[in-house]
Amino acid sequence: MMTFSVPPGYRRTARARRPKLKPFIPIIDAWLEADRHMPRKQRHTARRVFDRLREECGCAGGYTIIKDHMREREKRRQEVFVPLAHPQGHAQADFGEAQVRIGGIEQKAHFFVLDLPNSDACHVRACPAAVAEAWVDGHRRAFTFFGALPQSIVHDNDRCLLAKILPDGTRKRAELFSGFLSHYLIRDRYGQPCKGNDKGNVEGLVGYSRRNFMVPMPEFATWEAFNLWLEEQCERRRLDVLRGESDTIGARLQHDLAAMRPFPAAPFEACDQDNGRVSSQSLVRYKTNDYSVRVAFSFGHQDVWIRAYVNTVVIGCHGEVIARHPRCWDRDEIVFDAIQYLQLLEQKIDALGQAAPLQGWKLPEEFATLRRLMEARMNRHGRHEYIQVLRLLETFDLADLQDLAQSHARKAG
């Protein structure tokens, strides 16, 4: 009572002794150490250790002392981290995953997050796959969103960014990512393999984005509409004042921007580049999918170049673009542009009824009426005339041609 102004209560002066468990502690530790190399869902629980000790070793101790020993052992083994300071003008980047509904189809979205940890400002952009061009496109759009370039970026050891990690820890960059860094003169840094604490801020923002931007499940007509909405959420977040800070994220962002660098004269082409050859069916294969090209270029089975962006595949021959398609992220699909085959169908008119590029081509009802009337009046020549009408789409918009089709249908009727 003279030592303490308030009674401190009972205080243990030494660790609790567990004489019944002590002989078995090396056995328990050996089991738990071996668990480190086992699948996470096939490791010992306290109940399983208790049962094995009773059955195999004749342990007479209770379940509680085993559970307490395993809990204390786990606490002692937990990793301790050094608090990190983040200078102005530097960034961290990562990818996350979430389920979304785009165009009425539920699918997995891979969303890129670039964070400025000094100010906690972020940019989030979603895409169908976390490929190399998506990484580069996400960076480029984040730079545009902030209006400046960070001095350095901390990344994962992702196979899209790195071709190899050498034994001395040196990273060999992938070709596209290396070109991106050289273009913008950004210093790249990487966390330890299988560790997230080196870039804890962006790891936290990945979880924040999933919980706050993607609950309930986002539903948008297109990926572009979804990404515009995500940018709005990032801008709204700049009004927040985080714990331990006196200014908003937006106010602190101004200090980050002052330490960042301006853009180079030209933007970087965020695309995967490849080569291909046109097949006899006027198709070019890229990443298991076939894309159609203009028939006029297929006769010689010419070599072509391919530029694959996140949302678009562009195919060219020499210096001219001969096809442009929405990118397909499925496998073993054929992406047709029906207009590209009209010139060939004009020569092979008997294939009109079974032409695969025209299957599923959604045209206004006036075109079906026009074809029916032309074939009724002119038979095979009517199909030829109908193809000539469709070929006007090579020059004119569908809306303009729809009026013409209505006029022809009235005359033919």
| CA atoms of 225 and 210, how far apart (whole Å) | 17
Same domain (yes/no): 109, 223 = yes
Same domain (yes/no): 303, 157 = no
| CA atoms of 357 and 336, how far apart (whole Å) | 5
Answer whether 343's CB lies under 8 Å from 378's CB: no
In a domain, 395, yes or no: yes
Does a cis peptide bond (omega within 30 degrees of 0) precede residue 216? yes
Same domain (yes/no): 220, 128 = yes
Indicate if the pLDDT at residue 377 is higher than 60: yes
> What's the farthest any 2 CA atoms get from each other in the chain?
117
Domain that holds residue 146: 91-258
Same domain (yes/no): 120, 250 = yes
The per-residue pLDDT for range 239-263, each reduced to its tens digit, is 999 998 999 999 999 999 999 999 9
pLDDT for the residue numbered 378: 84
Same domain (yes/no): 191, 227 = yes
pLDDT for the residue numbered 372: 87
In a domain, 290, yes or no: yes
In a domain, 14, yes or no: no
pLDDT for the residue numbered 242: 93
In a domain, 193, yes or no: yes
The per-residue pLDDT for range 96-140, each reduced to its tens digit, is 999 999 999 999 999 999 999 999 999 999 999 999 999 999 999
Same domain (yes/no): 330, 277 = yes
pLDDT band for position 300 (cuts 50, 70, 90): low
In a domain, 205, yes or no: yes
Same domain (yes/no): 121, 202 = yes
pLDDT for the residue numbered 286: 96
| CA atoms of 199 and 37, how far apart (whole Å) | 26
Q: Where are the beta strands (DSSP E) in 6-151?
A: 91-102, 105-116, 121-127
Indicate if the pLDDT at residue 297 is higher than 60: no
CA nearest 344: which of 282, 283, 279?
Answer: 282
Same domain (yes/no): 164, 233 = yes
Q: Hey, is 71 helix, strand or coil? A: helix
- Give the mean pLDDT of 64-93: 88
pLDDT band for position 386 (cuts 50, 70, 90): confident
Same domain (yes/no): 127, 158 = yes
Indicate if the pLDDT at residue 299 is higher than 60: no
Same domain (yes/no): 48, 171 = no
Number of structural domains in the chain: 4
Same domain (yes/no): 105, 253 = yes
Same domain (yes/no): 184, 326 = no
Q: What predicted TM-score, i.e. pTM, was given to this entire model?
A: 0.81
In Å, what is the CA distance from 93 to each residue of 15, 175, 198, 334, 389? 45, 19, 11, 34, 51
In a domain, 83, yes or no: no
